[in-house]
Amino acid sequence: MQTTATCPAILIAAPASGQGKTTVTSALARLHTRQGRRVRVFKCGPDFLDPCWHALASGAPVYQMDLWMTGEADCRARLHAAALEADLIIVEGVMGLFDGEPSAADLAQRFGLPVLAVVDASGMVGTFGALAFGLQHYRADMPWAGVLANRVANVRHAGMLQASVAPEQWLGAVLRNATMALPKRHLGLTVATEVVDAMERLDAAADALATTPLGQMTLEDLQRWAVDFVAPEIPLPMAPGGWAAERSAACPPTALRSPPLPPQNALTPSHLPLFGTTVAVARDAAFCFIYAANLDTLRVLGAELVFFSPLADAALPVCDALWIPGGYPELHAETIAANKAFKNSLTAHVAAGKPVWAECGGMMALFDTLVTLDGQRHAQWGVLPGEVTMQKLLAGLGPQQLALESGTLRGHTFHYSTTATPLQPAVRTSRPHTEPSDDAGEAVWQVGGVRASYFHAWFPSCPEAVVELFTASVEVTA
């Protein structure tokens, strides 16, 4: 394997959330992709929704990067693999550049990724230059690409903003344009595949970016941001059968395939821990929060994956285990309630003692009742006793870890609902570097082979624990 791979790379950051990072990231990816260039995009942090837009823009699956949740080794391996075959690597930051532990700034400095700052310049002139200067110099030795002004009023406004920064820092101005806005809802951006004019919006954003110095950079120009990515000590694993040509991301069209990754170790399929296990994965508008890396991990472990829609299908596919990921059951509660045939099929799976792992939205639908914001009560699958109630205030947010018998999974929580149930938690998650306690973290509910929690797991963080979740007759222990 090539020990060092060199590729132009940038990390797109901002002074805060809501500045336009996702739009600019997707626009830049779309702009270069439609020119025939190979673009690989990554998302800093545990986000599910932004990657859907980046995947649509770049034509390739998007993986998350977080120095705690995914780990430095995983980040290093993915960056190296991308650099071997890409013309440009783009990493979208999370929140403000220095927000969180670890932050986007930590990721940029760890891998030498030049930072491109996107600043919402509406309502400011000279302060734009102060923000740009502060972002660059707040921390010593920050790799830096420059600054892009977003939501600019007009050409005159752009000229005043440009005058507030050093000439080499200016990467252009994007004028306010409603046609390139990406729609939002309560958990973030609307999933790209649900927006009928998603590609038109991305093209509008790419067209706007094409008028800026950033958008006019050639492949030769991009070389000023070239980064040397060192090969990982341990290559990324691969599913049996060679290259990762059959892996698809959860949100973009299924035709999108991930780039090749380094070969795995020489385990034969029959020696893989989930060999012969068929895992059914819920995937539709209600259950769509799926990390592409989680699908990869299940396949690497030997599982065969089959996908189904709890909204549209009358029965589960033939399977040995079931994964119901998060999503938006609250937006589809009536449809879930009306699909009695599917509920009966799920009940039979549970009665047979087969494993079920349900995360956040998947867990919500397992309860008896879901109460939506308008106060309407909707019967759900009734696997877990109790009800889930939506609320306007955020109920849980942040990194979490789940200690199982086989090891500890890392992940996060993010939800606007609460549960009321007579069940006692089988175990609770905990914050990074802390022990579980009875009054903190997310509960893991267990009934027979069913395990469910608000916790979203990053499967590559502990494949042994993933095997435990999808293997029958294994109890969760504190």
Residues marked active site are found at 360
Length of the chain: 478
Tokens 């950033």 belong to which residue? 214
442, 429 Cβ separation under 8 angstroms: yes
Question: What are the C-alpha distances in Å from 89 to residues 81, 227, 251?
Answer: 11, 10, 20
Q: How far is residue 156's CA from residue 158's CA, in Å, rounded to a whole number?
A: 5
Q: How far is residue 403's CA from residue 188's CA, in Å, rounded to a whole number?
A: 29
Q: How far is residue 40's CA from residue 62's CA, in Å, rounded to a whole number?
A: 7
Identify the DSSP state of 232: P
Q: How far is residue 318's CA from residue 349's CA, in Å, rounded to a whole number?
A: 10
Side-by-side strand order, sheet with 396-404: 396-404, 407-415, 456-458
CA–chain centroid gap for 221, Å, is 30
Cis peptide before 102 (omega within 30 of 0): yes
26, 34 Cβ separation under 8 angstroms: no
Q: How many CB atoms lie within 10 A of CB 31?
A: 24
CA–chain centroid gap for 433, Å, is 22
- Alpha helix locations (H) across 84-232? 104-111, 126-137, 155-163, 198-209, 219-222
Query: Comparing C-alpha atoms, which of 366, 354, 297 is closest to residue 325?
Result: 366
Tokens 């752009």 belong to which residue? 158
